[in-house]
Amino acid sequence: MSSSSDFQQDRHSFSGSPQKWTDFELPGDTLYYRFTSDMSNTEWGYKFTVTAGHLGRFQTGFEILKQMLSEERVIPHLPLSKIWEWQVGVACRQTGHQRLKAIHLLLKIVQCSTQGDCDLTLLKPLWQLFTHMENNLCQDTAKPGILLPLHRALAELFFVTENRVTELGSLQEYLLALNTEDHLHRCTAQ
């Protein structure tokens, strides 16, 4: 299978049992395939399913949301609270670059949101991840203070979010929502 008729671009070849076949993506809107039998078997052949454009593909969704959040005239028409909820869930579940991209979108949402658009209590798992990274950084004095991309992204998210809730006059509620009662007692004792 290929995206070109000469089978030179984006070529994927399969042979043998169905377990050896894997899902793959081809760019463009055309699929070329060739089936060749060596006549060593009397089975009927192979079956495959082609699906155009996957709904929910991460990169596609990221690019669309990023563009929509960049258009000031579009923002009032977006269900920001629902998008916020989805993106926090994505940032909690994903790893690597996808998590960083989800955090990037969360930053954009915080910057363009109004009071009540974002349920900031949903950030609690990301706050716990951030504080864990901060504690590890403080405890490991042997390593130079180089922050990982995730650590930097979370630091920026919480810095911007804190500034935003301060502007909106809800800093106390925000801090209470992110921290556990045990953590607040320790801070008070210090």
Residue 32 CA to residue 13 CA, distance in Å, equals 12
Residue 116, sorted as left (phi over 0), alpha (psi -120 to 50) or beta, turns out to be left
- CA distances (Å), origin 83, targets 3, 78, 96, 157: 34, 8, 20, 16
Query: Which residues does the chain have with pLDDT short of 70?
Result: 28, 52-57, 138-147, 184
pLDDT of residue 174: 83
What pLDDT, on the 0 to 100 scale, is given for residue 67?
92
State residue 82's pLDDT score: 92
3-state secondary structure of 163: helix
Cα–Cα–Cα angle for 179, 180, 186, rounded to 5 degrees: 95
DSSP assignment string, 67-121: HHHH-TTTGGGS-HHHHHHHHHHHHHH--HHHHHHHHHHHHHHHHH--TTSS-GG
pTM: 0.64
Which pLDDT does position 59 carry in this prediction? Answer: 79
Domain boundaries, the chain: 55-179
CB atoms within 10 A of CB 43: 7
Amino acid (one-letter) located at 132: H
pLDDT of residue 135: 81
